[in-house]
Amino acid sequence: MDPDVTLEFFATPQPFLDAAGGLLAAEPVLGSVIASVSERTARELAAGHDSWAEVGATFERWWVVVRDASGAVVSAAMRTAPFAPHPTFSMPMDDGAATALATALHARGELLGGANGALPGAAVLARVSAELTGGEVVADKGTRLWEATSVEAPPAPDGRLRLATEDDAELVLAWFRAFHEEADEQAGREPDPDSGEHNTLDSVLVRIREGVEWLWELPDGTVAHLTGAGLPSYGVSRIGPVYTPKEHRGRGIASYVVGELTRRGLEAGHRMCLFTDRANPTSNKIYAALGYEPTVDMAEHVVGLPGHESSSGQRGQ
């Protein structure tokens, strides 16, 4: 292990947030996934519920901060994804830190089935993990993190934007699942019905009660679009998922809704970001036209482990 790198693991989110808070505040866009997931988990635990107990994973979820030789926190990662193969998600980290993390996980007998996050650290974590187990790495999906500091929303189409209600929960859940399947299709990958986040009706209801899921309703009352806009973490709100059923595409609904929610977030003083699939030129072009600019490239890697099945369908957390 790199003598200049120290790893500090946490079993619960709040002590991790206390330790990583300075880094997450300094790099809130790069840390938006880790921050938002950790804060949501902390809220859940404070309310007396632990959804991890329902996941059935063979390991306990964890968070980790990476400290340099001076003791300063320079990176962070977590393994909290409730969907197979339970990939890690990491902020930018150098090769030494990624190697140290892979080595530490291997030493405690934890098989790492996937590694997501900022490049090149996530790729190194996946590669070293595979080398230690005699497995192989598949780069499953390249993603790009974008930020908008200003926005140019197109004119509004016919209809209205409204918050999803609990009565919409079944539809929102169905569209979450369709979003991941059709994202594969649009990017030229074989659609995987098991891909994406492990959403349940309960998790969707939590998001609806948080007021983060928005719907576009046509004048006749038909619901034609879904966009999420997450609660701010360290001043950053993340847009997604963005989904329009095929029969309602081509009307400019998605561009308007993303632009409008971005505008509202910026006016509220939030930094606004979103992820795109690098293999989908359409979505990249749409968000660039709204004013989003690339921040960092990320990737999702599957680690094929000897004697173990690894799903290639993991997505962002």
Q: What is the pLDDT of residues 26-60, one digit of tens each?
A: 999 999 999 999 999 999 999 999 989 988 899 99
Tokens of 68: 């340099």
Query: How far, in Å, CA of 295 to CA of 183, rounded?
Result: 21
Name residues whose C-beta falls within 8 Å of residue 125's C-beta, 6 or more positions apart in sequence. 77, 88, 90, 93, 98, 99, 101, 102, 112, 115, 117
Query: How far, in Å, CA of 102 to CA of 84, rounded?
Result: 18
Tokens of 44: 């859940």
Could you tell me how many residues make up the chain? 317
Tell me the pLDDT tens digit for each residue of 215-243.
Answer: 999 999 999 999 999 999 999 999 999 99
Neighbours of 91 (CB within 10 A): 26
Q: Is 7 helix (H, G, I), strand (E, B) or coil?
A: strand
Name residues whose C-beta falls within 8 Å of residue 54's C-beta, 6 or more positions apart in sequence. none
Would you say residue 288 has pLDDT above 90?
A: yes
Predicted model pTM: 0.88
How many percent of the chain have pLDDT more than 70? 91
- What would you report as the CA-atom Rg of the chain, rounded to the nearest whole angstrom? 19
Strand partners, 76: 65
Tokens of 214: 């928005």
